[in-house]
Structure 1
């Protein structure tokens, strides 16, 4: 089967499963988050094999904090599901917008020493998509007005998470963090941006800004 077809089918399936479990919430969502965090940490540990112990310890918290943030977001009374979906929309829109703009208009390399395929045009496309779709969702759900414009900076944060993982993989000499997801590589490859967006949104919730 064509790799793009496999990637698309797997991507749609992951989105549907994630949204379904998020809608249910409670223990099923907690178990999904725990499983994802565990998978990311397992892949992180494989990448940093032979590195200092600080990388193992840092990776534990790099996986734990976003997991706790996602649970905190989902448990917000009245707005938890809508806010969680905003996090997903912004992250996914960053990826999709970045890919579309990068493929069609990408000319200027963003960080060629880390990720040669990333471009400034792709980043701007991701920011545009995240801002537009995230803002529309926040407005339609009556979420805090802060979220109307927070999409673009979150897109930058998501891209930073992507580049951080790419730098780790380049240092380790590996292409993907794992092979668990058909056409997508590892779980860490798919969640690198979400880890950052979830953490920052969780901080905003904890501070009472949302």
Structure 2
């Protein structure tokens, strides 16, 4: 058991490092073609996993995944701001969701007692949700200070956490209906692309739409 745990931990670490590469490319070059390729690749694999696992309502899956990809590409293509690059905004939104998701899981796993949606995602707890929101609040405040952004950004990012939570439940609902835990093994130690994309599918497009109104 311990040997398997260490092996999984190593796989997760290697995969996490590999996932940093496209982020570095995006930040370094801020090139729409590189960005579009990365986002399109993620969406194609995500929808492939939806079909491969025979998740129901394929048109809904296609719409949600396509909306995520197109909104991201359109946002970085057309938004112009002297304050902050749209590429950085996109990554800050993604990071906010990842931080919320991670800390909601950590806090919920250690202190969670009150289940939110037992029949859809039994590991989700109110304690984890609140804990994730509190950590995201600190993150949002730091982002505002670092980039000299208006306080409304804090509100946007907290709303993003709630969108992320419902996005996670959305994918969990379809996975549970199909009787699967992970949608694939494309990301060793993490599962499939769709397993990592779940919280971002609804949160990212809505967040980018909100940010487009203030930039």
Normalising by structure 2, we get a TM-score of 0.86
Change in CA separation of 1:167 and 1:63 when aligned onto 2, cut-off 3 Å: same
Matches of 2:202 and 2:16, distance apart in 1 = 20
Change in CA separation of 1:179 and 1:3 when aligned onto 2, cut-off 3 Å: same
Residue of structure 1 in register with 2:110 after alignment: 104
1:20 aligned residue (2, 21, 24): 24
**Where do residues 41-52 of structure 1 align in structure 2 (5 Å cutoff)?**
41-48=47-54, 51=56
Answering whether residue 15 of structure 2 is matched by residue 10 of structure 1, we say yes
Partner of 2:187, secondary structure, is: coil
Change in CA separation of 1:71 and 1:175 when aligned onto 2, cut-off 3 Å: same
Change in CA separation of 1:102 and 1:9 when aligned onto 2, cut-off 3 Å: farther
Contact 1:66–1:195 (Cα < 8 Å) also in 2: yes
Change in CA separation of 1:68 and 1:138 when aligned onto 2, cut-off 3 Å: farther
Partner of 1:149, secondary structure, is: helix
Residue of structure 1 in register with 2:65 after alignment: 63
1:176 Cα offset (Å): 0.8
Matches of 2:109 and 2:10, distance apart in 1 = 17
Answering whether residue 177 of structure 2 is matched by residue 171 of structure 1, we say yes
1:179 Cα offset (Å): 1.4
Gaps of 5+ in 2: 1-5
1:43 Cα offset (Å): 1.0
Contact 1:33–1:67 (Cα < 8 Å) also in 2: yes
Q: 1:17-66: per-residue Cα shift (whole Å, max 9, x none)?
A: 242132123211110000001111111122335x4xxx222222111111
Instruction: Give the superposed CA RMSD.
Output: 1.9
Q: 1:148-188: per-residue Cα shift (whole Å, max 9, x none)?
A: 22222211211111111111011011111111110111100
Residue of structure 2 in register with 1:77 after alignment: 80
Contact 2:156–2:207 (Cα < 8 Å) also in 1: no
Change in CA separation of 1:59 and 1:168 when aligned onto 2, cut-off 3 Å: same
1:144 Cα offset (Å): 4.0
Aligned residue pairs, count = 204
Normalising by structure 1, we get a TM-score of 0.88
Matches of 1:176 and 1:143, distance apart in 2 = 38
Residue of structure 1 in register with 2:39 after alignment: 33
Structure 1 runs (4+) greater than 6 angstroms displaced:
none
Gaps of 5+ in 1: none
